[in-house]
Every structure is written in structure tokens, then in C-alpha cells.
């Protein structure tokens, strides 16, 4: 098969599978158990296995979709800018929440796997689990971790966060979409932020803010830790 055909085939498959599960998710009221990413990944993995297609071929064929992640993240600046006046007034609580969230994400994740006797490479891969994938992979590699493992952990935590955030916050009777969005952005980065936009534009804006700030804070905290040891 030609490269053009392979590219069109896997791009179309990826978009159709995701769109299909997104439609199912919407039909069932965005149930946490029907998150599109949760189901799209195993279906596409099964398709790759059934056709004996190496992941490298799939990654190359869908690189344009991967490229679009960059502009999508940059576009989050638009709703954040729209909320700039409120964000400026809430600078202190936002900063304190960011510090608390970043530290909690790092210490809890590393602490749990350390308690189970995980090796240092796994600890280093787990540490940036609340950062976005590109940042987390780079930080993990700097700490002596495994970038590929860090990417899996980060994506898994994002999907899990996107699944449980809304029902958890509803159960906690948390009504302020600024708080809800920022918490999801700090803890579940891009996947959680996408889910926050489905709930509320305000939640989405603060989720994008939390995601961006936490990437910086996680890098800063782990860089300081690496320098001290």
C-alpha cells in the first residue's frame, strides 16, 4: 500500500472511532464509563493488532492529528484571556491552589508506588504524572525515568480524571465552575480540560489555566528536587 493510502486509512479510522464513541458518550449524558478516549484506544489497538500494523507506522500516519494538539492547546488562551479580570482578582488563591495541587499530585503518586517498592526509574516516571505529556516525558527523562512509561501514566491519569471529576464534584456539591475547572486542569491536564469545556466554558477556561500553570510548577518543583539530590 502507498504511504498516502496508509495515512488516509489510519487518520480516517482514528477520527471515525473517536467520533463514534463521542456520539455514544453524548447520547448517554456523558457517562464517566463512556469517555471516548477510554474506548477509542483499545479499539484502535485491536485494529493495529488485527492488521499487524506497527505502532510506528500508525504514529507516522496520524502525525497531523498529533500536530493539531499544539494549536488546540494554544487556543485555550482565548477563553483564559476572556476570564483575565477574574483571574487577576483571584491571583492569590489560584497560586496557593496551584502549589497545593502540584505538591499533592507529585507526593501522592510517588509515595504510593514507593510504598509498593517500585524502582527509581518508575518513581521518576510517576513524578510528573499531572503535567501534560510533552512536559512530563521531558521531566521524567531528566530525572532518570522512562519517557514512554511517563506518557502512559500521564494519559491514564488524564482519562481517569476526566471520568471521575464531574460526578465527584457533583457529589461534593461543588458549584463554582472556576474551582471545578482549575482542579481538573491541575490534576488531569489536557484530557480533563477537554471534559471541563463540555461542562462549562468557565470551567474550561480555568481548566486550561490550571493545566498550563501546573506544567510550569511541576517542572519547577521537580527541577529543584533534582538539583538538591
Average pLDDT, the chain: 90
Q: Is residue 6's pLDDT more than 70?
A: yes
Q: Are residues 36 and 62 in the same domain?
A: yes
pLDDT tens digits, 206-228: 999 999 999 999 999 998 888 87
Q: Are residues 218 and 123 in the same domain?
A: yes
Number of domains present in the structure of the chain: 2
Domain boundary among 44, 73, 102: 73
d(CA 12, CA 211): 29
Domain boundary among 34, 52, 73: 73
Q: Are residues 96 and 140 in the same domain?
A: yes
Q: Are residues 139 and 171 in the same domain?
A: yes
Q: Is residue 27's pLDDT more than 60?
A: yes
Rounded to two decimals, what is the model's pTM? 0.85
H helices within 77-200, ranges in order?
Answer: 77-82, 84-89, 91-115, 120-126, 133-142, 147-171, 177-199
d(CA 207, CA 186): 7
Of 145, 135, 122, give the one whose Cα is nearest residue 221.
135
Q: Is residue 176's pLDDT more than 90?
A: yes
Q: Are residues 229 and 188 in the same domain?
A: yes
| Percentage helix, strand, coil for the chain under 3-state DSSP, each rounded to 5 | 85, 0, 15
Residue 225: the pLDDT is 86
Residue 95: the pLDDT is 95
Q: Is residue 76's pLDDT more than 90?
A: no
More confident residue, 69 or 144: 144
Q: Is residue 196's pLDDT more than 80?
A: yes
pLDDT class of 106 with cuts at 50, 70, 90 = very high
Q: Are residues 226 and 160 in the same domain?
A: yes
Average pLDDT over residues 45-59: 92
Q: Are residues 153 and 193 in the same domain?
A: yes
Residue 13: the pLDDT is 94
pLDDT tens digits, 143-154: 999 998 998 899
Residue 65: the pLDDT is 87
Residue 94: the pLDDT is 95
Q: Are residues 152 and 187 in the same domain?
A: yes
Q: Is residue 1's pLDDT more than 70?
A: no
Q: Are residues 3 and 24 in the same domain?
A: yes
Domain boundary among 49, 73, 97: 73
Q: Is residue 177's pLDDT more than 80?
A: yes
Domain that holds residue 137: 76-229
pLDDT class of 134 with cuts at 50, 70, 90 = confident
Name, in order, each residue with C-beta under 8 angstroms of 53's C-beta and a sequence gap of 6 or more. 10, 47
Average pLDDT over residues 101-108: 94
Q: Are residues 60 and 40 in the same domain?
A: yes
Average pLDDT over residues 23-28: 91
Q: Are residues 104 and 205 in the same domain?
A: yes
Q: Are residues 154 and 104 in the same domain?
A: yes
Amino acid at each position: 500500500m502507498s504511504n498516502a493510502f496508509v495515512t488516509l486509512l489510519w487518520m480516517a479510522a482514528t477520527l471515525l472511532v473517536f467520533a463514534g464513541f463521542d456520539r455514544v458518550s453524548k447520547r448517554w449524558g456523558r457517562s464517566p464509563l463512556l469517555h471516548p478516549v477510554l474506548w477509542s484506544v483499545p479499539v484502535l489497538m485491536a485494529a493495529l493488532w488485527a492488521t499487524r500494523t506497527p505502532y510506528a507506522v500508525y504514529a507516522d500516519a496520524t502525525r497531523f492529528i498529533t500536530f493539531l494538539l499544539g494549536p488546540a492547546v494554544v487556543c485555550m488562551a482565548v477563553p483564559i484571556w476572556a476570564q483575565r479580570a477574574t483571574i487577576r482578582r483571584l491571583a492569590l488563591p489560584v497560586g496557593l491552589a496551584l502549589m497545593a495541587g502540584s505538591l499533592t499530585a507529585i507526593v501522592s503518586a510517588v509515595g504510593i508506588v514507593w510504598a509498593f517498592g517500585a524502582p527509581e526509574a518508575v518513581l521518576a516516571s510517576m513524578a510528573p504524572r499531572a503535567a501534560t505529556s510533552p512536559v512530563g516525558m521531558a521531566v521524567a527523562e531528566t530525572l532518570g525515568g522512562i519517557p514512554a512509561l511517563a506518557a502512559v501514566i500521564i494519559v491514564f491519569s488524564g482519562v481517569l480524571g476526566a471520568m471521575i471529576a464531574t460526578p465527584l464534584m457533583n457529589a461534593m456539591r461543588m458549584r463554582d465552575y472556576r474551582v471545578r475547572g482549575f482542579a481538573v486542569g491541575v490534576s488531569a491536564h489536557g484530557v480533563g480540560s477537554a471534559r471541563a469545556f463540555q461542562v462549562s466554558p468557565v470551567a474550561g477556561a480555568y481548566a486550561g489555566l490550571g493545566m498550563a500553570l501546573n506544567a510550569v510548577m511541576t517542572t519547577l518543583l521537580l527541577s529543584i528536587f533534582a538539583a538538591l539530590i
